[in-house]
Amino acid sequence: MHQRFILSLLLALVLCLGACEQSSSKNAPTVGIVDLSRLVRDSEPGKAANAFLEKTQKSFNDRILALQDKLQADTKDEKVRAEFQTLYLSLQQRMQAEEQNVNNVLLDHILRTVKEYRQQKGLGAIVRSEAVLDYDKALDITDMILDDLNKKHIEFKAVTSDEPKAEDDKAPAEAKPEAAKSEEAKPAEAKPEAAKPEAPTSEMGKSGEAKQDKSVQDASKQDKSRQNASKQDKSKKDKEK
């Protein structure tokens, strides 16, 4: 009787412990906290990104200083001054583009690593520590994600260059043959014949001709009247005789 009681008690304890374990596993936290600034600063990909940007910045600074020394040697050289200003603005824009590209590549790599960890561990969400007012340190999974991140390698490459893009150079060269073909395909257009000049027939010309005809007629009338007058004079003289 006593032994049966002990066995029954032990069996009850085992069942109770099993239920407790199941309830504790069901109530396990499904949220992880990550310090994003640590992932960027302390991870191997983050260090590689910082080294790439420092190397690029040093290369640009050396070029600017070299041209600055040349300008200081002859401050009146307007060509060097214009070249210095152009180079400074160009390298400044290139550095901004390089920084933006590195930040995008690094952040994308970190987010993919965080997502893989969440899926492997079955977590419901992973949030940044900067966005949480207070949390249990047991929820911090930064070290685990940092280990996963360090196992991966990222090679950063420059996205800008001093040389123009090859596509931009080839475009005009390829466009020229097409333009030449289109010019050859066009039929020769017949040139309009020049209009032959016509003799002017102005009203002034007509009036001038009319005046000339009238003057000729008047002159002929005067000649006739003179001839008649001379005939009359001659007949009078003959009668007097």
Mean pLDDT per 10-residue section of the chain, whose length is 241 residues: 48 46 53 94 95 96 92 85 92 95 95 95 93 91 95 91 60 49 50 45 45 52 59 57 47
What is the structure's pLDDT at 70?
86
The residue ranges of every structural domain in the chain are 29-162
For residues 129 and 142, give the distance between their C-alpha atoms in angstroms, rounded to a whole number.
9
What is the structure's pLDDT at 17?
43
- 3-class state of residue 6 by DSSP: helix
What is the structure's pLDDT at 123?
93
Span 29-162 CATH architecture:
2-Layer Sandwich (3.30)
What is the structure's pLDDT at 80?
87
Does the pTM surpass 0.75? The reply is no
- Spatial contact of 109 and 152, defined as CB atoms under 8 Å apart: yes
What is the structure's pLDDT at 20?
43
What is the structure's pLDDT at 166?
53
Residue 99 contacts by C-beta under 8 Å, 6 or more apart in sequence? 53
DSSP tally for the chain: helices H, then strands E: 7, 2
